[in-house]
């Protein structure tokens, strides 16, 4: 399914819960819920149950489709709760894991993020304040920040992807 077609549409009509539900269609409850959201919106709008048909209907009648989407968001709050329950189950399983790193990676990552980004912010302010040309300093620092943030996000992304694979294979 082309869920990416619906994400901007859902944001535009003010349905953030539905946007989160369909953009996290990685399997398990989230995948089932993402499909159910598309089905419910299509049913309300009266089109085929696929993101392209919903997007086309929205282009033809933004107000009508927007209202249908907002109604589905209100009706689908229990699905949001189901997805959160699955996430919470994963976190509880991590807390009970035998491996110490599996138990403490979230708090450690949070502490590291806070410390590193505070230091980066302070360095950024200092570099701008101490530079002869603050605009040039922003340009130079921007490249370094992008690289650093890209590496950090990549490491986290690989971990999350790998962990998802482990859960799908039953190695929770």
| 102-158 pLDDT per residue, tens | 778 778 888 888 898 888 888 888 888 888 888 888 888 888 888 877 887 787 777
In this prediction, residue 70 carries a pLDDT of 84
Identify which of 47, 87, 52, 63 has the alpha carbon closest to the alpha carbon of residue 13. Answer: 63
pTM of the model: 0.41
| 34-65 pLDDT per residue, tens | 677 778 888 888 888 777 788 888 889 988 88
Question: Average pLDDT of the chain?
Answer: 76
């Amino acid at each position: 399914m082309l869920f990416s077609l619906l994400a901007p549409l859902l944001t535009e009509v003010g349905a953030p819960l539905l946007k989160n539900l369909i953009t996290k269609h990685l399997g398990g409850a989230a995948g089932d819920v993402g499909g159910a959201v598309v089905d419910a919106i299509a049913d309300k709008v009266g089109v085929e149950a696929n993101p392209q048909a919903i997007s086309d209907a929205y282009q033809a009648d933004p107000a009508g489709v927007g209202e249908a989407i907002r109604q589905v968001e209100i009706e689908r709050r229990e699905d949001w709760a189901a997805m959160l329950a699955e996430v919470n189950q994963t976190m509880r399983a991590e807390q009970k894991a035998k491996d110490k790193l599996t138990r403490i990676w979230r708090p450690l990552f949070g502490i590291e993020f806070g410390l590193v980004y505070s230091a980066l912010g302070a360095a950024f302010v200092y570099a701008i304040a101490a530079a002869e040309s603050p605009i040039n300093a922003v340009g130079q620092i921007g490249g370094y920040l992008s690289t650093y943030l890209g590496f950090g996000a990549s490491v986290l992304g690989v971990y999350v992807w790998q962990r998802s694979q482990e859960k799908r294979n039953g190695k929770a």
